[in-house]
Amino acid sequence: MKKIECIIKPFKLDDVKGVLTEMGITGMTVSEVRGFGRQKGHTELYRGAEYQIDFIPKVKVELVVASDRVAEVVAAIQKEACTGRIGDGKIFVLSVDQSIRIRTGETGEDSL
């Protein structure tokens, strides 16, 4: 099993969720996060004063999938989250040693 973590632009969340749902992905965790990469933030005006916004609002999507589905899931997320502009985000793939469904005690891929 693999855990896929994606940091994406907030307005792309519905697109990513839609394509994952169509693929039969039954669960994901979504968090509102803030951060920066190459963007390095931006400057805004508020009541005539200019100030630096260092952390950009993003969305973090986390899901665990069977190892044989990783390539297709990552490709789908990349396609749907891409705007072609800086700050589109990142996708991370990590190994998962064990998974247990608390309610039933199912383990491994059965718990997904």
Cα–Cα distance for residue pair 70/100, rounded to 1 Å? 20
Q: Read off the pTM.
A: 0.85
CATH number of the domain located at residue range(s) 2-111 in this protein: 3.30.70.120
The structure tokens listed for 106 are 């199912």
Q: Is residue 67 left, alpha or beta, with left meaning phi > 0 and alpha meaning psi from -120 to 50?
A: alpha
Q: At residue 8, does pLDDT exceed 90?
A: yes
pLDDT in tens, 26-77: 899 999 998 877 766 666 677 777 777 778 899 999 999 999 999 999 999 9
The Cβ of residue 52 has, within 10 Å, a number of other Cβ atoms equal to: 9
